[in-house]
């Protein structure tokens, strides 16, 4: 169904139960659930059509998470809004951010909103994360494992892109190698173990990726330079797309002969865009999120209906 808007979008990002986009003039619009102010229009009113994000800012990128949104303006300033990430000074809970609020910390070239966390990289490729149990961040007081301020991630890896998930994150280095860190119970870090990774570790296999996505709670995926999609981690609903439901702590090729330009992981499902402009999805389909016209799961790529 066509989105009800009188303007064109040049970028779009989907969150847990809402969506945001950047219009051709740089203005940000969001629609869907707004319980925590994730639409950024100054209210907590759910919207069935795009509403302008407050502040009149021009964005060059946006990332929608579980209940918070972050973006970088054309001037290079990072803003976030929606559910608060981290504790209030002295304890307690921070209020929802109903409008874009400038983020303190270094200047970022890319920001990724995940599930109760966010991560970003600087122009030089240094990684930062914040929120509840942000991956790769060491806390002196383990009883308060959260921060509302971007904190540096350990390790010495320089990344060109980053993707935040649920207590884990992944990114691609300049040489195309994928690195992940954080929570790893289902193998979503992809280093062949199930051990929490304090610092970014190389994803197993001699693969070079164009992009990776860690937006799922338990699995990650990426597309190699040759267009082959690989996924790793949880697979109880077929979200790895390899025809099975076996969890894998190492990358497994997605079934089929499709050449992908991009893949993105969701809540127990995955979708990818092919070089021919077709969209395929796989994994959990109980809410119709696979776009196949049914509510069934699938363990290998299935074309989205047009």
- Lowest mean pLDDT across 72-81, 142-151, 175-184, 297-306: 142-151
6-10, 14-18, 38-42 — most confident range: 38-42
Q: How far apart are CA 242 and CA 239, in angstroms?
A: 8
Q: What integer is the mean pLDDT of 197-207?
A: 96
Query: How confident is the model at residue 305, as a pLDDT?
Result: 83
The pLDDT of residue 34 is 97
Q: How many angstroms separate the Cα of 68 from the Cα of each of 41, 62, 139, 187?
A: 13, 11, 23, 26
Predicted confidence band of residue 4 (pLDDT cuts 50, 70, 90) = low
- Taken in order 40, 119, 9, 272, the sign of the CA dihedral is negative
pLDDT of residue 11: 93
User: What percentage of the chain has pLDDT greater than the value 70?
Assistant: 94
3-state helix, strand, coil in the chain (%, to 5): 0, 45, 55
Report the chain's terminal Cα–Cα distance, integer Å: 9
Q: Which of 78-82, 125-129, 255-259, 284-288 has the lowest mean pLDDT?
A: 284-288
Q: Stretch 259-285: mean pLDDT, rounded?
A: 95
Instruction: Please give, one letter per residue, the 3-state secondary structure of 180-216.
Output: EEECCCCCCCCCCCCCCEEEEEECCCCCCEEEEECCC
Which pLDDT tens digit goes with each residue over 25-39?
Answer: 999 999 999 999 999
pTM of the predicted structure, to 2 decimals: 0.94
Percentage above 90 pLDDT, the chain = 85
What phi, psi does 265 have (nearest 5°)?
-95, 145
Q: 53-104 pLDDT, tens per residue?
A: 999 999 999 999 999 999 999 999 999 999 998 777 666 678 999 999 999 8
Reported as a single tens digit per residue, the pLDDT across 153-169 is 999 899 999 999 999 99
Q: Quickly tell me which residue has 């991630």 as its tokens.
A: 153
Which residues is 177 bridged to in the sheet?
none
Residues 210, 8: Cα–Cα separation, whole Å = 27
Mean pLDDT value across the chain: 93
């Amino acid at each position: 169904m066509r989105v009800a808007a009188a303007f064109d979008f040049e970028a779009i990002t989907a969150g847990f139960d809402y969506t945001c986009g950047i219009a051709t003039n740089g203005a940000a619009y969001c629609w869907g659930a707004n319980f925590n102010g994730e639409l950024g229009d100054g209210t907590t009113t759910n919207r069935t059509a795009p509403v302008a994000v407050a502040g009149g800012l021009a964005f060059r990128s946006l990332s929608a998470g579980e209940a918070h949104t972050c973006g970088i303006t054309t001037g290079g300033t990072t803003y976030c809004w929606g559910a608060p990430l981290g504790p209030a000074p002295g304890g307690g809970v921070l209020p929802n951010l109903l409008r874009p609020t400038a983020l303190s910390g270094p200047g970022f070239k890319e920001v990724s909103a995940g599930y109760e966390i966010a991560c970003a990289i600087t122009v030089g490729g240094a990684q930062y994360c914040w929120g509840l149990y942000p991956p790769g961040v060491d806390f002196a007081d383990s009883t308060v494992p959260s921060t509302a301020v971007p904190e540096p991630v350990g390790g010495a890896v320089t990344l060109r892109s980053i993707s935040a998930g649920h207590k884990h994150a992944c990114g691609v280095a300049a040489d195309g190698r994928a690195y992940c860190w954080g929570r790893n119970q289902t193998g979503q870090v992809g280093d062949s173990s199930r051990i929490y990774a304090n610092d970014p570790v190389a994803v197993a296999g001699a693969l070079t990726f164009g992009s990776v996505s860690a937006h799922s709670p338990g699995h990650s995926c990426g597309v190699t330079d040759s267009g082959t999609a690989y996924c790793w981690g949880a697979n109880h609903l077929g979200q790895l797309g390899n025809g099975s439901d076996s969890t894998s702590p190492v990358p497994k090729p997605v079934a089929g002969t499709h050449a992908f330009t991009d893949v993105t992981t969701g809540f127990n499902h995955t979708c990818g865009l092919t070089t021919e402009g077709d969209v395929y999805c796989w994994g959990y389909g109980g809410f119709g999120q696979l776009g196949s016209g049914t509510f069934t799961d699938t363990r290998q790529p299935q074309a989205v209906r047009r």
